Structure 1
Amino acid sequence: MNWRLTAACRDLDPDVFFPIGTGGMSLVQIAEAKTVCRRCPVAEQCLAWAVGDGRVEGIWGGTTENERRAMRLREDLGS
């Protein structure tokens, strides 16, 4: 089964998950998106997909662009 079919964000406005910037009102948007991700039954699959696919923009699996970049860097350094 496709994990996207049971994602908590499935029927929400996608703009919430693609904030413009990292300050001001974008922080509110990021917090809203992460709140949805925390209750999502497929957040782990979403994050794995985003990291594996190299997704840069947006909130995926409860992480921001910078958080995923840091994850990839840690993985690279650990190899």
Structure 2
Amino acid sequence: MKRSTHHMPNTPSTDDWRARAACRSEDPELFFPKGEVGWKTNVDKAKKVCRRCPVHRECLQLALDNGLDDGVFGGLSDKERRVLIRRRTNNAA
């Protein structure tokens, strides 16, 4: 099995919000779906984990603040985050 090269920036300490993330016990590959076939199904599975996560807002903010443009973070896919960023930019203009 191929190991993922994807990871959240920095290693969380025990007092870090990332230590409480629901995805900590999941395969990281789940959050970085590849290819067109089954992409939506895999994204939906990742989002299901995010929906039960107590720190999904912090995760989403981390992705937005750091320009993470691949994978599911905070319950949003990379495509959904790009739409959110465009909307925020347009509203600020």
TM-score (norm 1): 0.93
Q: Following TM superposition, by how much is the alpha carbon of 1:27 offset from its aligned partner in structure 2, in angstroms?
A: 1.6
Query: Who is 1:50 aligned against?
Result: 63
The structure with the larger Rg is: 2
Alpha-carbon displacement from aligned partner over 1:6-42 (angstroms, at most 9, x marks no partner): 0000021000000013x43122111110000000000
Considering Cα pairs closer than 8 Å and 6+ residues apart, tell me whether 1 or 2 has the greater RCO: 1
Give runs of ≥4 in structure 1 deviating > 2 Å.
none
Aligned residue in 2 for 1:26:
39
Q: How many angstroms apart in 1 are the aligned matches of 2:51 and 2:44?
A: 10
Residue in 2 aligned with 1:4? 18
Q: Which runs of 5+ in 1 are unaligned?
A: none
- Residue in structure 2 matching 1:13, options 24, 27, 36: 27
- Identity fraction in percent: 41
Provide the aligned C-alpha RMSD in A: 0.9
Q: Compare the two structures and name the one with the higher helix fraction.
A: 1
Q: Normalization by structure 2: what TM-score?
A: 0.80
Distance in 2, matches of 1:17 and 1:75, equals 24
Q: Which runs of 5+ in 2 are unaligned?
A: 1-14
Equivalent pairs counted in the alignment come to 78
